[in-house]
């Protein structure tokens, strides 16, 4: 009996970590939710030049790729981005509408802890967030004890999506006839 209890106590941290990992929403389902009528064709924004430097400033490191796919219809854009929490990437979906963050969702969580960032009590703090003049969120986001690195990853992705949305808007203004 004692050996079983010891074994259970030793395996408990492994078990609870495994529960945190998972796919909470497939990217296709997230996009279908973001654009209820018709899913627009994906477009790409390149992270080069000044934009590359700005993204590095926002994240504290280079983004993993030189181009980012997004979907745009009218004032609404959707982004599926990744940022490392502690050790592994977290896939996050962000919808920006009219320059404001409409909603943010954890799509795939790979870390062993910090999955609380996926719950509405946390994500609703981002609703209507904008970037200020220094490319910071215009509001304070309360952290979650034990999920600090996941919270930071979510904040970085929110800032990145808002920044990239503004860059896409600049492109469309300059390319308009």
Among residues 67, 72, 66, 115, the alpha carbon closest in space to that of 90 is found at: 115
Residue 2 has pLDDT above 70, yes or no: no
Distance CA(105)–CA(96), nearest Å, equals: 12
Residue 10 has pLDDT above 90, yes or no: no
Residue 108, H or E segment: strand 100-109
pLDDT in tens, 121-151: 999 999 999 999 999 999 999 999 999 999 9
Angle at 88 between CA 84 and CA 92, to 5 degrees: 55
Q: What is the mean pLDDT of the chain?
A: 89
pLDDT in tens, 91-129: 999 999 999 999 999 999 999 999 999 999 999 999 999
pLDDT in tens, 43-96: 999 999 999 999 999 999 999 999 999 999 999 999 999 999 999 999 999 999
Global pTM value: 0.85
State the CB neighbour count (10 A cutoff) for residue 89.
16
State the CB neighbour count (10 A cutoff) for residue 45.
18
Domain boundaries, the chain: 2-175
């Amino acid at each position: 009996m004692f050996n079983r209890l010891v074994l259970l106590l030793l395996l408990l941290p492994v078990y609870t970590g495994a529960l945190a990992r998972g796919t909470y929403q497939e990217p296709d389902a997230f996009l279908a939710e973001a654009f209820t009528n018709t899913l627009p064709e994906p477009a790409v924004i390149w992270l080069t030049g000044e934009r590359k430097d700005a993204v590095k400033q926002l994240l504290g490191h280079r983004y993993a790729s030189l181009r980012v796919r997004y979907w745009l219809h009218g004032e609404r854009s959707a982004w599926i981005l990744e940022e490392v929490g502690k050790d592994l990437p977290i896939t996050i979906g962000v919808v920006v509408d009219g320059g404001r963050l409409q909603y943010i969702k954890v799509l795939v969580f790979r870390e062993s802890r910090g999955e609380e960032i996926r719950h509405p009590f946390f994500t609703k703090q981002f609703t209507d967030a904008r970037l200020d003049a220094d490319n910071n969120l215009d509001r304070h986001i309360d952290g979650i004890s034990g999920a600090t690195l996941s919270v930071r990853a979510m904040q970085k992705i929110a800032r990145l999506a808002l920044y990239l949305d503004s860059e896409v808007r600049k492109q469309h203004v300059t390319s308009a006839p």
